[in-house]
Structure 1
Amino acid sequence: MNYYLRRTARIPLTILAVASLTFGLIRLLPGGPYTQLRVQLARQGMPAEQVNARIEALQNIRPDAPLYVQYVDYMVGVLQLDLGQSISMNEPVMDVLARALPWTIFLVVTSTVLMFVLGVFVGAIQAYWEGSTFDKLVSSGSILLMSVPYYIFAVLLLFVLGFKQGWFPTSGAHARSLDPAVGLDYYVSVLRHAVLPVGTFTIGGIGAMALNMRGNGIQVLGQEYVEVARLRGLSDTRIATRYVASNAILPMYTSLLLLIGFRLGGTVILEEIFTYPGLGDYLISAVNANDYPLMMGCFLVITATLVVSVYIADMTYGLIDPRVSVGETDGY
C-alpha cells in the first residue's frame, strides 16, 4: 500500500515541477513574455494601466508584480485548470486544448496500437524462424526503418500517395464541408485524412518493435513449456503467436504506455507536415505567434500525459505479469 501511495503522490509533485520549469523557461525566451504584445498595444495608444490589465486577463498574472507573485498566480490558475487566454486565437487556452487534444490522441493511439500489433506478430515469427532468410530480411528492413526519421516517411507518403497519386487528402482532419451530424460520410472522411499521418507513425516505429519482440521471443523459445508444445505437435504458427508472443509481450507492456506518452510530444513535426489540427500543430502556431499562454498549456498537457502514462504502466504491470512483485522496481 505504501508503494502505491508513494507513486500516486509523485504525480502532482512531478506536474508541479514541470509547470514551474515551464514558467521559468518561458520567461527566459528572448524579450520575455508579452513584450511584443505590450509594444503593439502601446503603439495603438493604449495607456499603461490598460496594457497591464490586458496582459493580466490573458495569463491571470499581474505583469507589474514581483516574479514570485506572478508564479503564485500562475500556479493557482493551473490548479483551477485556468491557463489563461490565447493571444493569437482570443479564446481560453483550455478550449483550444480541448479541441486539439482528441485529434492528437486519436492519431497517437491508433498508430501505436497498429505498430504494436504488427511488430509483435512479425517479431514473434522472426524469433521462431531465427536465422532464416525471412528473419534476415525482416531484421535488415527493421534496422533501416529505425535509422530513418519518421518525418522522412511523412514527406515521402505525402508526396507519393497524396500529391502524386491523389489517393488520400494531404491536410486537415476531415473535409471542411462535413461535420459529425452528417454521419457516416464524416467518419469516412476522418479515416481518409488520418491514413497518411497514422501510416507514418506506424512505419516509423514498427522496426524497433519487431526487433524488440524478436529478442524477447528468442529468450522465451528456450523455455521448457515451448519444448512441450513442440512435442505435442502444435503448429509453428500457433507456437509463435500463442506461446511465444503471449509471454514475450509482457516486458513490452511498459514501453508501450511510455511510447504513447512520448509520441504525444513527437506529433509536433508530424502534425505540422500534414496540417493536422492537433496539439502539435497548435504548439507550432503558438511559437510562431509568441502566444505564451497557449505555448505553456501545450507543454503542460504533453508532460502531464507522459507522467500519467508512466504511472499507469507502473501500477498495472504487476497485474499483467504476476511474476513481478509490487515495489520491486521502486529504486529506479
Structure 2
Amino acid sequence: MRWLAKRIGQAIFTLWAIVTISFVLIRFLPGGPIDYLVVQLKKKKIPESIIDNYVENYISFQPDQPLWVQYIDYVSSVLQGDLGQAYFQDGMVFDILAQALPWTIFLAAIATFVTTVVGIAFGGFMAYTEGSKFDSGVTLFSTVAGGIPYYILAITLVYLFGYRWQMFPTGGQVDPSLVAGFNWPYVKSVLYHAVLPLLSTTLVGWGGVALSMRGNSISILGEDYIRVARLRGLSRRRIALRYVARNAMLPMYTGILLSIAFMLGGSVILEQIFAYPGIGLYLFKAVVSSDYPLMMGGLIMISTAVVIGVLVADLTYSKIDPRASSEGERESY
C-alpha cells in the first residue's frame, strides 16, 4: 500500500505541476493571452468596465485579482473541467477537446495494436530463423522503414492514394451524410477514413517492435531454462509461446502502453496532414491562431494522458511479471 500511495502521489504531483505551468504560461507569458485578449476587445470598442468579465470567461480567472486568488480560481476551474472558452472556436475548450479526444484515441489505440501484433509476430519468427534470408530481409526493411519520418510517409500516401488515384478520402473522420450510430455503413466509413492515417504510423512503426522482439527472443533462446524445456521434450510450439514469447514481451510492455499516450502528442502533425478532427488538429489550429485557452487545454489533456499511461504501466507491470515484487524492482520507467 505504501508503494501504491507513493506512485499515485507522484502522478498527482505531476498533474498539479502541469496545471501550474499552464497557469504561469497564461498569466506571465510576454504578449500572452491576457494582453492579446484585452487588445482584441478594445479594438471592438468594448467598454473597459466589462472587459474583465470577458477575460474571466475565456481564461477562468479575473486578471485584476490577487495572484493567489487567480491561481486558486484557475485550479478549481480545471478540476471542474472548466478550461475556459476558445477564442476562435465555437464553444468551451473542454467540450471541444472532449469531442475530439475519442477520435485521436481511436487512431492511437488501433495503430498501437496493429504495430504491436505485427511487430511481435515478425520479430519472433525472425529470432527462430536467425541468419536466414527472411531474417536478413526483414531486418533491412525494418531498419530502413524505421528511419522514415511518419509525416513524410503520410504526405506520400495522401498524394498517391488520395489525390492521384483517389482511392481514399483526404480529410475528415467519417462521411458527414451518414447518421452517427453503431451500424455498418457508419462503422465502415470510419474505418475507411482511418486507413491512410493508420498506414502512415504502422508501416514505419512495426519494424522497431520487430527488432526489439527479435533481440529479446534471441537472448532468451540461449537461457538455461529453454534448454531444460527442450530436454523435457516439450513441444516447439509450447516453448515458443509460453517460454520465449511471454518473456520476450515483458521488457516491451511499458513501451507499448506509453506509446498510446505519446501518440496523442504526435497526432498534431498527423491529424493536420489528413485533416482528421482529433485533439491534435485542434491543438495545431490553436497554436497557429494563438488561441491560448485551447492551446493550454490541449497541453493539460495530452499531459494527463501521458501521466495516466505511465501510472497504469507501473501499477500493472508486476501483474504480468511476478519477479518484479519488491519496490525497487517495480520501476517500469
TM-score range, shorter chain: over 0.9
How many angstroms does 1:181 deviate by? 4.1
**Aligned pairs for 1:195-214 within 5 A:** 195-214=195-214
Question: Does structure 2 retain, via aligned residues, the 8 Å contact 1:62–1:70?
Answer: yes
Asked if residue 105 in structure 1 is aligned to residue 85 in structure 2, the reply is no
CA–CA separation in structure 1 for the residues paired with 2:63 and 2:314: 41
Question: Does structure 1 retain, via aligned residues, the 8 Å contact 2:85–2:93?
Answer: yes
Which residue of 2 is the match for residue 138 of structure 1?
A: 138
How many angstroms does 1:34 deviate by? 3.3
CA–CA separation in structure 1 for the residues paired with 2:171 and 2:101: 17
CA 250–291 in structure 1, closer or farther in 2 if over 3 Å, else same? same
Partner deviation per Cα, 1:206-247 (whole Å, 9 max, x = no partner): 121111111110111112443355553745x66545542222
2:62 partner SS: coil
Partner deviation per Cα, 1:44-91 (whole Å, 9 max, x = no partner): 211112111101111221122344432222111112221111121231
Q: What amino acid is aligned across from residue 310 of structure 2 in structure 1? A: V
2:167 partner SS: coil
CA–CA separation in structure 1 for the residues paired with 2:18 and 2:123: 37
**Aligned pairs for 1:236-255 within 5 A:** 239-241=239-241, 243-255=243-255
Which residue of 2 is the match for residue 42 of structure 1?
A: 42
**Aligned pairs for 1:16-35 within 5 A:** 16-27=16-27, 29-35=29-35
Moved more, 64-73 or 133-142: 64-73
Which residue of 2 is the match for residue 223 of structure 1?
A: 223
Which residue of 1 is the match for residue 294 of structure 2?
A: 294
**Aligned pairs for 1:262-301 within 5 A:** 262-301=262-301
Q: Percent identical across equivalent pairs?
A: 47
CA–CA separation in structure 1 for the residues paired with 2:238 and 2:140: 25
Asked if residue 78 in structure 1 is aligned to residue 78 in structure 2, the reply is yes
Which residue of 1 is the match for residue 261 of structure 2?
A: 261
How many angstroms does 1:155 deviate by? 0.8
CA 325–233 in structure 1, closer or farther in 2 if over 3 Å, else same? closer
Question: Does structure 2 retain, via aligned residues, the 8 Å contact 1:84–1:92?
Answer: yes
CA 47–203 in structure 1, closer or farther in 2 if over 3 Å, else same? same
Q: What amino acid is aligned across from residue 141 of structure 1 in structure 2? A: F
CA–CA separation in structure 2 for the residues paired with 1:138 and 1:160: 25
How many angstroms does 1:296 deviate by? 0.8
Moved more, 65-74 or 158-167: 65-74
Instruction: Give the TM-score normalised by the residue count of structure 2.
Output: 0.93
Partner deviation per Cα, 1:7-28 (whole Å, 9 max, x = no partner): 1111211100011112223445
Which residue of 2 is the match for residue 189 of structure 1?
A: 189
Q: What amino acid is aligned across from residue 5 of structure 2 in structure 1? A: L
**Aligned pairs for 1:112-131 within 5 A:** 112-131=112-131
Question: Does structure 2 retain, via aligned residues, the 8 Å contact 1:60–1:77?
Answer: yes
Instruction: Give the TM-score normalised by the residue count of structure 1.
Output: 0.93
1:209 partner SS: helix
Q: What amino acid is aligned across from residue 96 of structure 2 in structure 1? A: V
Structure 1 runs not aligned, ≥5 long: none
Question: Does structure 2 retain, via aligned residues, the 8 Å contact 1:171–1:275?
Answer: yes
Question: Does structure 1 retain, via aligned residues, the 8 Å contact 2:317–2:330?
Answer: no
Q: What amino acid is aligned across from residue 122 of structure 1 in structure 2? A: F
CA–CA separation in structure 2 for the residues paired with 1:22 and 1:145: 37
How many angstroms does 1:330 deviate by? 6.0
1:34 partner SS: helix
CA 233–312 in structure 1, closer or farther in 2 if over 3 Å, else same? closer
Aligned Cα root-mean-square deviation (Å) = 2.0
Question: Does structure 2 retain, via aligned residues, the 8 Å contact 1:121–1:241?
Answer: no
How many angstroms does 1:323 deviate by? 1.5
CA 2–280 in structure 1, closer or farther in 2 if over 3 Å, else same? same
How many angstroms does 1:170 deviate by? 1.0
Q: What amino acid is aligned across from residue 272 of structure 2 in structure 1? A: E
CA 41–182 in structure 1, closer or farther in 2 if over 3 Å, else same? same
2:328 partner SS: coil
Aligned residue pairs, count: 331
2:33 partner SS: coil
Moved more, 134-143 or 36-45: 36-45
Q: What amino acid is aligned across from residue 2 of structure 2 in structure 1? A: N
CA–CA separation in structure 1 for the residues paired with 2:306 and 2:49: 40
How many angstroms does 1:327 deviate by? 1.3
Which residue of 2 is the match for residue 158 of structure 1?
A: 158
CA 122–241 in structure 1, closer or farther in 2 if over 3 Å, else same? farther
Q: What amino acid is aligned across from residue 129 of structure 1 in structure 2? A: T
Q: What amino acid is aligned across from residue 271 of structure 1 in structure 2? A: E
1:180 partner SS: coil
Structure 2 runs not aligned, ≥5 long: none
CA–CA separation in structure 2 for the residues paired with 1:320 and 1:131: 31
